[in-house]
Copies of this chain bind each other. A is one copy, B any other.
Amino acid sequence: MNKLQSMRRYQIGPVYRRDQPAMTRGRYREFYQCDFDIAGESEPMLADSECVLILTEVLSGLGFSNYTVRVNHRLLLDGIFQCCGVSEALFRPICSAVDKLDKCSWDEVAKEMSDKGLADEPIERIRQLVLTPRGGADLVDQLRENPALKGNAMVTQALDDMSRLFRYLCLLGCPDQVRFDLSLARGLDYYTGLIYEAVLEPTPDCNVTVGSVAGGGRYDKLVGMFTKKDIPCVGLSIGVERLFTILEQMHKAKEQKIRTTATQVYVCSAQKNLLEERLRLCGQLWRAGLPAAHSLRSNPKLLTQFQYCEDTGVPIALIIGESELRDNKVKLRCIASRKERLVDRDSCVDEVRAELASLAAAQQKTEQ
């Protein structure tokens, strides 16, 4: 269409699923998602490892430390099915049964496989493989030596990929929270290579088991289904609403307040009839790019203005009264410490910036 054959892109916005809504589980047809994708030719596993790294960066950046990224490879699953004696026609149905392992017991999954026409012996052989403990590059080596898989072309190629993935992630300095997990299958049919999924483990701050919060994989044939040319792609989707709900719970558990305003400075009047002076000062702060606000009432009480700052977490108040105006000063109040000092009106932007920087530094020190 637009002849683009390679790009990196991200998008945050509403997306739609063709599915019956399940409101009680927060599953709507329209929901918010953050997507990242890399399209175009790439050295094997290079774009893929970048996607896995980005997934860890997003979760770490949002303040999560209790996540695991489970990785697996569609070709490896197919290879395993082949080695276990599953006919090719059953690859996808059996894969979709494996996908339920995070919600169902092995017995239920085995029953589904059996219902789909698979004999007991291949089911048992699949069990022995996909329920292998999770691992890292070590698991790749183990699987290479596994006599049941040796010589299978799909397995060999997939293990080469997985071994590259772990090497690249190591070079990129990716956090050590990536686990090779043969029981990961991912629901969507269009994946063709690496697949991954991020799960949050319960913590003291957030003991809800929430399952998958993000996932993705390689889909080399999807673009070709809609255009004349295959364009190899790899990408990930992050469930924004789900993560935000969890973050809210975590903040609540820690009794942390969530700020709903970006205001850093609140311009207060100490006496009546100073509305126009407040406006003049706000204009000065806004032109300097400082997120400032003031009361939209003409004569608010000083205590009410301070209370607003405390309630909403605005860190600094600038106060003007008759005497400050006369002396060309403003009073700078640090809301948390209640300390006040007079500063020159002309340098108040710099004073506010310095105060904000010192508050941020103190905050960072507390958190360490």
Contact = CB atoms under 8 A, between A and B. Distances in A.
Contact of A172 (B53, B283, B297, B298): B283
A297 B171 contact: no
A306 interface: no
Interface stretch (A40-48, A81-89, A120-128, A223-231): A40-48
A172 B296 contact: no
A287 B173 contact: yes
A168 B13 CA distance: 37
Copies in the complex: 2
B41 A172 contact: no
Contacts of A261: 8
A53 B293 CA distance: 14
B279 A168 contact: yes
Interface residues of A, number: 34
Contacts of A53: 283, 286
Contacts of A38: 296
Contacts of A279: 46, 49, 168, 171-172
A311 interface: no
A276 B293 CA distance: 50
Contacts of A40: 296
Contact of A296 (B42, B167, B173, B280): B42
A8 B201 CA distance: 37
Interface string A20-59: 0000000000000000001011110011010001000100
Interface string A287-310: 100000100111000000000000
B41 A284 contact: no
A8 B293 CA distance: 10
Leading 3 A-B pairs by shortest Cβ distance: A42-B296, A172-B283, A173-B283
